[in-house]
Chains A and B, each alone.
Chain A
Amino acid sequence: MKSHIWRPVFVVIGLVGLILLFRLIYVPDDFGTNEQGYMYGYHREGNVDDWKNFPSKYKDSEYCGNCHIDKDTDLSASRHAMIPCENCHGAALDHPVDPERLKIDRSRDLCIRCHAQLYTPTSGRSAIPGINPDQHNTGMECSVCHDPHNPGLEEM
């Protein structure tokens, strides 16, 4: 056959070869369909471990109770027992090493997440004692009068 036919054929074959070579270098070895099959499992397998090694910030309340036994006992006996420590005290991260002290959120905004009174007839919200944040001692931190670890009104 004539060379003007063969030449583009070689060019195409060369291009395909280049693309395959690029793919071989660029695509990681662990890329494949894995257990979930082609439709849902086509991925780089190492990424599963990347996500498993993602750093965690919240430690859970049991971790806090290991050292702060007195506070843990106080809180467990109160009506706020179900609130995890880190919701107000902030994520523990690597406390007590880093950070050495946690920053407590004493803002009104934190308390009114639950205690701003709403009319919610078909939700558990209506069972929580509530105030109108625009009228109830505005400008004051709730913890001036209320003890978050013992919020019962009878002991105020």
Chain B
Amino acid sequence: MKRRDFLKKSIIFVSGAGLSLSALELLNPRDLLAANPEVRWAFLVDTHKCVGCGFCVKACKIENEIPLPANVTRTWVERYVITEDGEVRMDSPKGALHGFTSKKLDQNASGMLEIPDEETTQEFFVPKLCNQCDKPPCVQVCPVGATYQTNDGVVLVDRSWCIGCGYCIMGCPYGVRFFHPEHHVADKCTFCYHRITEGRKTACTQACPFGARKIGDLKDPEDPITKTVLNQRVGVLRDEYGTEPHVFYIGLNKEVR
């Protein structure tokens, strides 16, 4: 090899090796669009307004064809009672399908518990539903690609593709997933995808007489939900899991799990 050839080849090799692989990657226009989608659905719950009537749970079950007697539900309401001694107790009989009509707390195996009014320092209701996380752990664990995130942020389950392994039910830190008793696949809140994509409210939102539940689009700066989330003190559940939940709560206590 001549000295000239050696130098030529060295220059080609060094410049080739120095080029990073990412520079050769072609940008896909669809990926760029997805990075800035037009809609991002989010939910706002005002716990001060919730009175525990459970109309949301009933409406959700009827709207989404979840059998009423089955002890599974896409949304539910929890009642928290905090007493003087700092004890936190919670109940949610049938997910509050029939509301909270008794002072007695359903403590499962230990029976019904009645706490005297004078010992109660706080008693309130917290509606729960799927948080439609930005980083949904339930989707990561699905071995067959049956559950996924749409580009407007809602996590859905493909009923024809789900094999019913139950990983996602175990993977969800919020316990919102369950087995559908009739379809025998994993099921979860869809933010009433068939309604919101038509510009209507979710079934639970329209059924709530007190405005405790609201659905909105975080990409729209004029949306009242966006304004509240940006300008008011709102909290999310289990922030420490890093799932970036998109159900925001006004008046969230640290006792709420």
Flag if A113 contacts B99 (CB, 8 Å): yes
Number of interface residues of B (CB under 8 A): 62
Q: Which residues of B contact A82 (CB under 8 A)?
A: 209-211
Whole-angstrom distance between the alpha carbons of A77 and B123 in the complex?
31
Shortest beta-carbon distance, A25 to chain B, in Å? 15
Flag if A123 contacts B51 (CB, 8 Å): yes
Flag if B151 contacts A125 (CB, 8 Å): no
Q: Does B62 contact A (CB under 8 A)?
A: yes
Which range contains the number of A residues in contact with the other chain?
35 or more
Q: Does B41 contact A (CB under 8 A)?
A: no
Whole-angstrom distance between the alpha carbons of A125 and B103 in the complex?
13
Flag if B123 contacts A57 (CB, 8 Å): no
Q: Which residues of A contact B49 (CB under 8 A)?
A: 124
Flag if B195 contacts A56 (CB, 8 Å): yes
**Which of these, A41, A47, A112, A119, contacts B158 with CB under 8 Å?**
A47
Q: B46-69 vs A: 1/0 string, CB under 8 Å?
A: 011111111100010011100000
Contacts A31-B145, A124-B49 known; A47 to B161 CB distance under 8 Å? Answer: yes
Q: A28-43 vs B: 1/0 string, CB under 8 Å?
A: 0001001111011111
Q: Which residues of A contact B33 (CB under 8 A)?
A: 35
Q: A103-123 vs B: 1/0 string, CB under 8 Å?
A: 000000100111010111111
Q: Does B136 contact A (CB under 8 A)?
A: yes
**Which of these, A31, A53, A133, contacts B101 with CB under 8 Å?**
A133
Q: Which residues of A contact B240 (CB under 8 A)?
A: none
Contacts A41-B148, A51-B194 known; A119 to B117 CB distance under 8 Å? Answer: yes
Flag if B55 contacts A87 (CB, 8 Å): yes
Flag if A58 contacts B63 (CB, 8 Å): yes
Which B residues, 113 to 171, have Cβ-Cβ distances below 8 Å to chain A? 117, 120-125, 135-136, 139-140, 145-151, 156, 158-161
Shortest beta-carbon distance, B45 to chain A, in Å? 13
Contacts A35-B151, A91-B63, A113-B54 known; A60 to B200 CB distance under 8 Å? Answer: yes
Q: Which residues of A contact B30 (CB under 8 A)?
A: 35
Shortest beta-carbon distance, A36 to chain B, in Å? 5
Q: Does B190 contact A (CB under 8 A)?
A: yes
Q: Which residues of A contact B146 (CB under 8 A)?
A: 43
Contacts A44-B161, A54-B194, A58-B62 known; A113 to B98 CB distance under 8 Å? Answer: yes
Flag if B156 contacts A113 (CB, 8 Å): no
Q: Which residues of B contact A123 (CB under 8 A)?
A: 47-48, 50-52, 123-125
Flag if B156 contacts A36 (CB, 8 Å): no
Q: Does A48 contact B (CB under 8 A)?
A: yes
Closest to A32 in B: B145
Flag if B34 contacts A84 (CB, 8 Å): no
Flag if A119 contacts B120 (CB, 8 Å): yes
Flag if A124 contacts B210 (CB, 8 Å): yes
Contacts A31-B145, A42-B148 known; A118 to B55 CB distance under 8 Å? Answer: no
Closest to A53 in B: B194
Interface set of A (CB-CB < 8 Å, partner B): 31, 34-37, 39-44, 47-48, 50-58, 60-61, 82-84, 86-87, 91, 109, 112-114, 116, 118-125, 128, 133
Known: A57-B203, A114-B209, A123-B51. 9 other contacts (CB 8 A): A36-B148, A43-B145, A54-B190, A61-B206, A86-B207, A113-B99, A118-B100, A120-B51, A123-B50
Q: Can you sample 12 A-B contacts with CB below 8 Å? A: A35-B31, A36-B150, A43-B147, A44-B145, A50-B158, A51-B193, A54-B64, A112-B99, A113-B99, A123-B52, A123-B125, A124-B50
Counting from the closest, the 5 A-B pairs by CB-CB distance are A113-B99, A35-B34, A43-B148, A125-B51, A54-B194
